[in-house]
Amino acid sequence: MFGVTEDFRVVRTDPGNSYSNIPLNRDIRVYFNQAVDVETLNTGTFIVARNSATPIAGAVRYETNQRGEFIGIFTPQVILHADTTYQVTLVGLSHPITGGAAMVIKSALGYSLGRNFSFVFSTGSVSVQPPVLELPVEYSSITEEKPLFQWTLIAGATNYELEIGTSELMDPLYTPPGSSQTYPITIPGDVDNYTPSDSFERELQYYWRIRTYQAGVFSAWSALYSFYILGLGEDPPYVPPAENFVPVGDPTMLFGGSEEFRVVGTEPAPSAIGVDPDYFLIHFNKAIDEESIDSDTFRCTIRGNKLIDSDPNTSIDREIDIEDAYVDEEDPTILVIIPVGGAAPEE
């Protein structure tokens, strides 16, 4: 048997009872007026429950400080959930959930609290942001069968969920032939890249996106990026002297540039989806090197809509063959592209 005395008691807690907007990455501290029997202070007697029902995992330790305070400290195994109420119970009489007999917290002199001591607090809300996609670059054409996916890290992220598809609908998600890959693809929060273990199919357009999981909350999905895996022996498209493709306006065509040499407009306009023009005019900010224009410097893709299974929003991408391409004689900043079956612009 153990004794009960009013002299052994809790003098304060941190956070305090009914406090709100508590940070997610903090310990819970309880201050006693007497030294505690450390053998009785553990996760069975210092219980932290989410929404007053689900005990969370963690570790308990005991400390004293220079002010002579005796402190029980609960450290959650993972950061607390956002927008959640937690109830803390110090067992001094009976188990708070079953109501039955239980080990109780005792002082170093063998006295108990004589009752269960409880308090509650609530965490604050968190605006979880999705990562910014880095690789593969939007509208890029790559040769790797096992693409490197890379993104910016989000501070405090628990993990990320990555999805890969072959249409903008992202349904169904893509699984390489013969692969046992399942979704979601989960990556730890301190890792900023993923390389699949199985090879992707060539000559396919892929789409990918990612979201953050933090403090029990998912962010919105990131932007949806697309990339194309070239066939064997096929070189990536290149518009000299640009080093990277940068989407301009409504990105329904593959074009890009750099700050020094870039695309400034197109005819038809990028928003003209599903049209089959006689020619394309690509306007650059500087004169184009005529000798750099040949069949290996670019690939043109038409994006359109097609009625499939009564779904008018199903998108299709269609690569078109080029009959001729040249720099306009009167304006050397204009590249003229004529598809097979098309015609040159009228003078």
pLDDT digits 0-9 by tens, 129-184: 899 999 998 888 888 999 999 999 998 899 999 999 999 999 899 999 999 989 99
**The two structure tokens encoding residue 79:** 């950061």
> Does residue 120 contact residue 86 with C-beta atoms inside 8 Å?
yes
Walk along the chain (347 residues) and give the pLDDT tens digit of each residue. Answer: 344 555 889 999 999 999 998 888 789 999 999 999 999 999 999 999 987 677 899 999 999 988 888 999 999 988 888 889 999 999 988 666 555 556 889 999 988 888 899 999 999 887 788 999 999 988 888 889 999 999 999 988 999 999 999 999 998 999 999 999 899 999 999 999 999 999 999 999 999 999 999 878 888 899 999 999 998 876 555 444 333 333 333 333 334 444 466 676 677 654 444 456 778 888 777 788 777 776 555 555 544 433 333 333 434 444 567 788 888 888 888 888 888 888 888 76
Domains 3-123 and 133-229 share a fold: yes
The pLDDT, as a whole number, for residue 53 is 74
pTM score, whole prediction: 0.44
CB burial of residue 239 (10 Å; 0-12, 13-18, 19+):
buried
Question: 3-123, what's its fold?
Answer: Immunoglobulin-like (2.60.40)
User: How far apart, in whole angstroms, are the C-alpha atoms of residue 134 and residue 175?
Assistant: 22
The pLDDT, as a whole number, for residue 150 is 95
> Does residue 136 contact residue 31 with C-beta atoms inside 8 Å?
no
Q: Count of CB atoms within 10 A of residue 15's CB?
A: 21
Give the pLDDT confidence of 169-214 residue by residue, as tens digits.
998 999 999 999 899 999 999 999 999 999 999 999 999 999 999 8
Q: Where are the domains of the chain?
A: 3-123, 133-229, 237-347
**The two structure tokens encoding residue 59:** 């570790």
Contacting residues for 282 by C-beta, under 8 A, at least 6 apart: 255, 263, 266, 334, 335, 337
The pLDDT, as a whole number, for residue 40 is 93
CB burial of residue 267 (10 Å; 0-12, 13-18, 19+):
middle
The pLDDT, as a whole number, for residue 202 is 93
**The two structure tokens encoding residue 163:** 């999805």
Question: 133-229, what's its fold?
Answer: Immunoglobulin-like (2.60.40)
> Does residue 123 contact residue 81 with C-beta atoms inside 8 Å?
yes
The pLDDT, as a whole number, for residue 54 is 78
User: How far apart, in whole angstroms, are the C-alpha atoms of residue 137 and residue 149?
Assistant: 9
The pLDDT, as a whole number, for residue 198 is 95
The pLDDT, as a whole number, for residue 323 is 80
